[in-house]
Chains A and B, each alone.
Chain A
Amino acid sequence: MSDDGVIVAERLSKWYGHVLGVSDVSWRMRGGIVGLLGPNGAGKSTLIKMMAGIARPSRGQLAVFGGAPFDDPSVRARIGYAPEHDKLWDELTALELVAALAELAGVAHGKSRAAAETALDRMGLADARHRRVRGFSKGMRQRVKLATAIAHDPDLLLLDEPLTGIDPVARVDIIERVRALAAAGKSIVASSHVLYEIEALTSEIVVIYRGQVLAEGNVYEIRKLIDRHPHVIRVECDRPRAIAEALAGAEHVVRIAFERGAVLIETRDPDRCYDQLASAVLDRAIAVQALTSPDNNLGAVFDYLTRGGA
């Protein structure tokens, strides 16, 4: 396997018993910030766990800095991992926790305290360093996790849902701090199920769904890919068939389906479709109860991409 890259995965799969976590993923990361985007249960955490060396690939190969993270401690020494959960050693103070984990990552005992203070300072927790973690808010816990990930000065940071559950102000702050780390030369993989969170962090995105990489590249390319996905409009009204008749001949309409008291229109040109819908409703005096677009759900886009629409 060629090891040209910080992370190189080739036909990587992971099963938990009969449950498939990651399926046949081939992917290469050369540096910078890469965002793993996918809905909950897509396989993002499993992929990150394998990169962090805490889960073993069931099949395929994974190299981080040219070595296998599960088997090679020298590879793990170069990785900083912040898991999705915020289970920490709550009895310890932030400083004790970060210093202990820095020491376990290879920082000398005499230097671990200074390393922890620097990391906590970089994460904006200098004033709270002597407080026990038990009393920390969700946002502070996220920052402590990030401090534990950076305290030993790793080359690669693996951040699993680093922005989950935190308030908007803390979100902006953490995004800035993560970007500063990348600017300082760290390679970073961050996962999220929210597109705008990932967009705020990076323009390089890998889309994961049902354990597979659906797309990767610049966020704009992925946006284009998503935009090519037909848009679904659901119209709840008293006469769904009248709406269907009005739009059936339009070339931008891909598919029309009926539900109880509603019609679903799949279109490649949402703007034109909305115009024609308005005309049909007015001309035929149709009573519309609701007009929604289920496609606003990212999961629907992923489903479409999985079906091969891309």
Chain B
Amino acid sequence: MSTIALARVALRRLVRGRTWWIALAIAILPIPFAYGLRGHSALLTNGLNIALLLLAVLPPWLVGASVGEELDHRSATYLWSRPLARWKVVAAKLLALAPIVVVLVGASWIAIAETATSRFPPRNTIEAMLAAALAVSMISAGIASLAPRQGMALSIVYVMLDLMLGELPASLHALSVTFHARTLAGRSHYHPDYLDWVLLAAIPIAWLAFGLLRLRRREA
């Protein structure tokens, strides 16, 4: 019940502030670039790469910043003095904001693909993008729980590194969520299998677990 109450507060604060409009603008931003891709080769792959860049901005902006602000901001004293399990604060933020990230990333990807190829994108690419959006939202929440003050900035850096890691031919790319998203979308040199789904879930869960563990002993 308290998770729902906190999620409601997070949503109200989002829609009454500027954050929401900026997020919307960020989601629309890649569409003109997709238009510029028309007439070039590998449209879907290039379009997907543009959409993946959204992951470096939208989840940190919506989830990382919100979790970090709540924990770093002195309003946390109100939360910690309540009979409230601390993981619920992060869970509530994810409950309220991750669906918005997922919808924005998904809608943006469909718009990018439609603009670049004049066709609705394949289902597996949409599924991969939605899963990646959720995964990066969880990672951002975990990072912001570990380092609230730098939550958004560190999340952006993390996803940029993740994108680079995903391009490496070595097996290190297994640690990259964007690599698994690209593989599941059929846009990498590897065949998608269940392990991609497992790792796409396991990496964010690990970050979230680290963050929540740290949060348990955090004082205001």
User: In whole angstroms, what is the CA distance A243 to B199 when docked?
Assistant: 85
Does A281 make an interface contact (CB < 8 A)? no
User: In whole angstroms, what is the CA distance A112 to B1 when docked?
Assistant: 12
* Neighbour of B81 across the interface among A79, A88, A92, A96, CB < 8 A: A79
Are A53 and B74 neighbours in the complex by a CB distance under 8 Å? no
Residues of B68-102 contacting chain A, CB below 8 A: 73-75, 77-85
User: In whole angstroms, what is the CA distance A49 to B16 when docked?
Assistant: 31
Does A81 make an interface contact (CB < 8 A)? yes
Does A87 make an interface contact (CB < 8 A)? yes
Contact residues in A for B12 (Cβ distance below 8 Å): 91-92, 96
Are A105 and B83 neighbours in the complex by a CB distance under 8 Å? yes
Are A83 and B74 neighbours in the complex by a CB distance under 8 Å? yes
Are B13 and A91 neighbours in the complex by a CB distance under 8 Å? yes
Does B6 make an interface contact (CB < 8 A)? yes
Q: What is the number of residues of chain A that contact chain B, defined by CB distance less than 8 Å?
A: 31
Contact residues in B for A223 (Cβ distance below 8 Å): none
Are A76 and B74 neighbours in the complex by a CB distance under 8 Å? no
Chain B interface residues (CB < 8 Å from chain A): 1-2, 4-6, 8-9, 12-13, 16-17, 73-75, 77-85, 217, 219-220
State whether A76 and B83 are in contact (beta carbons under 8 Å apart), knowing that A88-B75, A100-B8, A100-B9 are contacts in the complex.
yes
CB nearest neighbor in B for A49: B220
Contact residues in B for A88 (Cβ distance below 8 Å): 75, 78
State whether A92 and B9 are in contact (beta carbons under 8 Å apart), knowing that A54-B77, A54-B81 are contacts in the complex.
yes
7 A–B contacts, CB within 8 A, in A order: A53-B81, A85-B74, A91-B12, A103-B2, A104-B6, A105-B82, A105-B83
CB distance from A94 to the nearest CB of B (A): 13
Are A104 and B75 neighbours in the complex by a CB distance under 8 Å? no
CB distance from A100 to the nearest CB of B (A): 5
Contact residues in A for B17 (Cβ distance below 8 Å): 91
State whether A87 and B82 are in contact (beta carbons under 8 Å apart), knowing that A49-B220, A92-B12, A92-B13 are contacts in the complex.
no
Does A41 make an interface contact (CB < 8 A)? no
CB nearest neighbor in A for B76: A54
Are A81 and B84 neighbours in the complex by a CB distance under 8 Å? no
Contact residues in B for A100 (Cβ distance below 8 Å): 5-6, 8-9
CB nearest neighbor in B for A81: B81
Are A54 and B85 neighbours in the complex by a CB distance under 8 Å? no
Contact residues in B for A106 (Cβ distance below 8 Å): 82-83
User: In whole angstroms, what is the CA distance A104 to B5 when docked?
Assistant: 7
Does A77 make an interface contact (CB < 8 A)? yes
User: In whole angstroms, what is the CA distance A88 to B217 when docked?
Assistant: 23
CB nearest neighbor in B for A96: B12
- Which 7 residue pairs of A and B lie closest in terms of their CB atoms, listed nearest first? A73-B83, A54-B80, A77-B83, A81-B81, A103-B5, A87-B74, A54-B220
Are B75 and A109 neighbours in the complex by a CB distance under 8 Å? no
Contact residues in A for B85 (Cβ distance below 8 Å): 73
Are A104 and B82 neighbours in the complex by a CB distance under 8 Å? yes
Contact residues in A for B16 (Cβ distance below 8 Å): 91-92
Are B2 and A104 neighbours in the complex by a CB distance under 8 Å? yes
